Structure 1
Amino acid sequence: MVTETVLSLPFDGRWLVQNSPARRVPSHGTDLLGERYAIDFVGVDDRRRTADRTDWRTVLSTEPPERFVSFGRPILAPVDGIVVATHDGEADHEARRSQLTLIPYALSQARRLREGVAAIAGNHVILELRGGGLYAALVHLRAGSFRVAPGDRVTTGQPLAECGNSGNSTQPHVHIQLMDDLDLSRARGVPMVFRDFREWPRRGEPVVRDRGIPAEGSVVAPARADSG
């Protein structure tokens, strides 16, 4: 029987769920880099928009990350623990919604994988959970936004950094995963669930869930922070 570890959502406000393990496992189509049960969250406004505008760049080109709702939002510790690793200094690159830019970007995936963990995860922080042996990684963080360093003890809900668009990311979002090793290159993914969140499904009325994994395409927020 697989035991699931319970975490809190690593943010306030509303976020769109992508690559959910509720849809498939491995959630990102691979077991590499401890990603088996990973999940992505993209910040949205109350109209489910991920960006504050669309224009010719949305269709034909790249876009500045600053126009996206996620960019610069605080990312919070999902669990009590200790910071065991951080990586900063990767650039927050232009975002891509246009198919004209997404296709060549997808074709460059193999090259980024050869370049190593930083080219995939970008700026990231890894926490060792209390009790040891399990590690939570939060990746694609904003360059220069870190508020913690290795050795710091953190509590659930404590700010770690800001959401960015570093590493293998087509638009600002946060990727979180639980794993059995702090070294992403050899880690194996571990199942997790989230506690106390409100979920707006693609269809139907919102529900408050005591724990679970949100569905692909739903919008979630911590139950404490958003009653709308």
Structure 2
Amino acid sequence: MKKYWIEHLSLRGAIVITTFICILILTSCSSDGESNKEANAVTPQKEEMNNNLKHIGGEDIATTLLEGEYEQLYTQFSDPLKDIVKLEDFRSMGQAFVSDIDSFQLTSILRLNGYESIVWADQTGSKGLTATIDEKGTISGIQIIQHSSFPETDAAYSKTIFNFPFLGEWLVFWGGNNTFINYHYEYEQVRYAYDYVIEKNGYSYEGDRAINESYYAFNEDVAAPAEGVVVAAVDGISDNNPVGTVNEDQPAGNMVTIEHSNGEYSTIAHLKQGSVKVKIGDTVTAGQLIGKCGNSGNSTEPHIHFQVSGQAGEANMVTIPISYKDSIQPIRGDKVTGTSN
């Protein structure tokens, strides 16, 4: 059975977005190096001016942008971000972006590994703003974009009711119905997929972040999310070492796909090498151990990738929104708890 997978962004690096996306253009704005050097030069007068500008808290960024306080925001940009976009470009793009926006609504906050990623939507839900702030309040990334929307498929939830494919508390790293809270959403084959990590004290790891064993998710139990029959099971693919390297030739890594009674299929990917406990043809029950969380395939940090497909075939293996138990609809930044029943 052919599977379709889109490259996974680094779970750590994806938080630190150092591009400013221009309204409808999905490429970063740039300027020549000499112009950047000039723009970043700090004179005593500028330094004094910067010191007089108030510090903007993360959740106030949207309001500050709407009020046109571009210079205040720009003083908190990281140097790499200033290298990409100059103040005058930021101002002109921002003005165009907010010209028809009356208000922003906070959508999602994710705090992980020293960064805070905040997402807002405008009053229509058609435009989005996201900002990434480090522990010092520096704005490491900011994006403005018009959202793509797929309302028909957004409402086509699975008939099967699924448990989470794990036990205990996990953090939704990617999940939801727009690209700011779920980067999968742009791609039909994985549009409604979820990525889950374990977070403790604001971090997904402790110690050397190049080692898989440093990550709380690594080697944690992965469970069948619903009753069904195993139709695909892959094991034996090495976990990426060091963390941050990827295996693009075997993007799903070690994985299990289960066929459910409604003609729907669930897939759990990036399992630990040697941990898969089931084989093709096995009948599994909800909550049954099927493997361990790993870092195999096109994955840059130990995590669980979970998706549900409505059909199986060579050309139409596309995801559908997942009906979770108790009607839960988690999005990026939410914490959820998996149970065995």
TM-score where L is the length of structure 2: 0.49
Equivalent positions of 1:162-181 (< 5 A) are 162-181=292-311
- Aligned residue number for residue 253 of structure 2: 122
- Aligned residue number for residue 334 of structure 2: 218
Task: Assess if the C-alpha contact under 8 Å between 1:71 and 1:164 holds in 2.
Answer: yes
Deviation at 1:44, TM superposition (A): 2.5
Q: Letter of the aligned partner of 1:174 in structure 2?
A: I
- Give structure 1 regions of 4+ aligned residues with deviation exceeding 2 angstroms: 22-27, 29-32, 180-186, 222-225
Deviation at 1:52, TM superposition (A): 2.1
Equivalent positions of 1:20-59 (< 5 A) are 20-24=175-179, 27-31=183-187, 34-45=189-200, 47-53=201-207, 58=209
Find the aligned partners of 1:165 and 1:150 in 2 and give their Cα distance: 22
Deviation at 1:4, TM superposition (A): 1.4
After superposing the two structures, state which structure 1 stretch, 177-186 or 83-92, moved more: 177-186
Equivalent positions of 1:85-104 (< 5 A) are 85-94=232-241, 96=243
CA deviation vs aligned residue, 1:41-95 (integer Å, no higher than 9, x gap): 00223x2431122x5xx4xxxx110111011001001111110111112110125
Task: Assess if the C-alpha contact under 8 Å between 1:43 and 1:50 holds in 2.
Answer: yes
Match of residue 321, structure 2, among 191, 194, 197:
191
CA deviation vs aligned residue, 1:178-198 (integer Å, no higher than 9, x gap): 113445864111111322xxx
Q: Letter of the aligned partner of 1:17 in structure 2?
A: V
RMSD of equivalent CA atoms:
2.6
Q: Letter of the aligned partner of 1:82 in structure 2?
A: V
Task: Assess if the C-alpha contact under 8 Å between 2:234 and 2:256 holds in 1.
Answer: yes
| Change in CA separation of 1:164 and 1:182 when aligned onto 2, cut-off 3 Å | farther
- Aligned residue number for residue 198 of structure 1: none
Q: Letter of the aligned partner of 1:188 in structure 2?
A: V
CA deviation vs aligned residue, 1:101-144 (integer Å, no higher than 9, x gap): 6xxx6xx89xx3xx4xxx2111100000123x210000000010
Of structures 1 and 2, the one with the larger relative CO (CA 8 A, separation 6+) is: 1
Find the aligned partners of 1:183 and 1:142 in 2 and give their Cα distance: 26
Aligned residues between the structures: 185
Task: Assess if the C-alpha contact under 8 Å between 1:7 and 1:193 holds in 2.
Answer: yes
Match of residue 142, structure 1, among 267, 272, 288:
272
CA deviation vs aligned residue, 1:10-54 (integer Å, no higher than 9, x gap): 11122111121245487414425x311000000223x2431122x
Which structure shows the higher helix fraction? 2
Identity of aligned residues (%): 32
After superposing the two structures, state which structure 1 stretch, 5-14 or 79-88, moved more: 5-14
Q: Letter of the aligned partner of 1:163 in structure 2?
A: C
Q: 5+ residue gaps in structure 1?
A: 196-209
Q: 5+ residue gaps in structure 2?
A: 1-151
Task: Assess if the C-alpha contact under 8 Å between 1:141 and 1:174 holds in 2.
Answer: yes
Find the aligned partners of 2:313 and 2:279 in 1 and give their Cα distance: 17
Find the aligned partners of 2:300 and 2:271 in 1 and give their Cα distance: 13
Task: Assess if the C-alpha contact under 8 Å between 1:71 and 1:172 holds in 2.
Answer: yes
CA deviation vs aligned residue, 1:150-181 (integer Å, no higher than 9, x gap): 10111110000000000111110000001134
Match of residue 70, structure 1, among 197, 217, 230:
217
Structure with higher Rg: it is 2
Task: Assess if the C-alpha contact under 8 Å between 1:31 and 1:188 holds in 2.
Answer: no
Q: Letter of the aligned partner of 2:258 in structure 1?
A: L
